[in-house]
Amino acid sequence: MEWYKYFSNRCYVSFSGGKDSTVLAYLTAKVCVLFDCKLILWFSDTGLEFPEVREHVKTFEKWLKSQFPKLDVETIITFPQDKNGKRILFKDVILNEGYPILSKKISRQIRDVKKLGQNCWAARCFDGRETGMYDLRKWKFVIDAPFKISNKCCDIMKKNPAHQFEKDTGLFPIIGTMTCESNQRKTEWLHNGCNAFDTKNPSSKPISFWTEQNILEMIIKYNIPYPSVYGEIKTDDQGEYYVTGYNRTGCIFCAYGCHLEKEPNRFQMLKQSHLKIWEYCMKPVTNGGLGMREVLKYINVEVE
């Protein structure tokens, strides 16, 4: 509510179609009804979403209208594009910039070493001159990988389109990220709070302090629809909610953190749930695919 008041209702919800942003959209709809203002849901069609998520994005607006008859709501869909207006695909990113593997931090460090050489600070992290949390000697071998590695994918496919949308519309974002998802998000929340009014790119993250349990409880309590790729929502012996399908539905081909997952990992699950997408993902680039089999094998991640 504070965000809408501060920016005179010139706001929008960054709507990924996942369960977190779906709950956020529902909560924001309540505010828009109260303030008698339009709810704008913005979806960046990156081509990296599960088909079930894309379908949910197209139908959720209708459900919201059924719940809030007085609500004026619009779903706006754009896509990543270059300076000439040409659509950017994930394949363009991995071939021109590099694959997103391990983590944003590590992929950036690898990119820096390859670009700046052994005299840059990142090189110190891989050769043992930096210790503790900066010690990346474990991943030194990845510097010599026969493929490009970069942290640029998120910027190109998500952040840049969002900034362009804000520039074109003059709207300010409401984002459904939570601190439990990463230390970086926790640090940002501790520094800025839920509403970052004075940052370079102002944004509201009202569910930052929520947990996965809060999200699932909201969905059950208010019977909020969500993408079928999550499966069913059930409770375990301790009364904790869990989903029977995918727990996270971010970018299908993103490899960040997959080396830490228990089997079946996200790519093994992808083979079982979406075989054709998995085959395209694993097929060599020279054969028209994304070449992910080679990449994941290089960092010892099983794909089937």
Distance (Å, rounded) from C-alpha 9 to C-alpha 100? 36
User: What number is the average pLDDT over the span 89-103?
Assistant: 97
Q: 3-state class of 260 per DSSP?
A: helix
More confident residue, 165 or 248: 165
66: Cα within 13 Å, side-chain hemisphere: 8
Residue-wise pLDDT tens digits, 257-278: 999 999 999 999 999 999 999 9
Asked if residues 100 and 153 have their Cβ atoms less than 8 Å apart, the reply is yes
Instruction: Assess contact for 156 and 79: CB atoms under 8 A.
Output: no
What is the value of pTM for the model shown?
0.91
Domain 2-83+155-228 has CATH 3.40.50.620: yes
Tell me how long the chain is. 304
The 3-class SS string of 130-177 reads CCHHHCCHHHHHHHHCCCCECCCHHHHHHHHHHHHHHHHHCCEEECCC
Instruction: Say whether the peptide bond before residue 264 is cis (omega within 30 degrees of 0).
Output: yes
CB atoms within 10 A of CB 45: 15
Residue 190 has pLDDT above 80, yes or no: no
Residue closest to 75 by CA, chosen among 199, 154, 178, 165: 165
pLDDT in tens, 108-119: 999 999 999 888
pLDDT exceeds cutoff 90 at 216: yes
Residue 150 φ/ψ, nearest 5 degrees = -160, 160
Average pLDDT over residues 231-244: 96
Least confident span in 22-36, 104-118, 193-207: 193-207
Summary count for the chain: helices (H), strands (E): 13, 10
* Whether residue 126 has pLDDT greater than 80: yes
How far, in Å, are 8, 82, 174, 188, 295 from residue 205 at the CA level? 17, 28, 6, 10, 34
Q: Taking the CA atoms of 28, 29, 34 and 37 in sequence, report the sign of the dihedral they define.
A: positive
Residue 274: the pLDDT is 98
Q: Is the pLDDT of residue 178 over 90?
A: no
Domain extent listing, the chain: 2-83+155-228
What is the per-residue burial (b if ≥16 Cβ within 10 Å, else e) of 235-258?
Answer: eeeeeebebebbeebbbbbbbbeb
Residue 132: what pLDDT?
Answer: 84
Which is higher by pLDDT, 64 or 183? 64
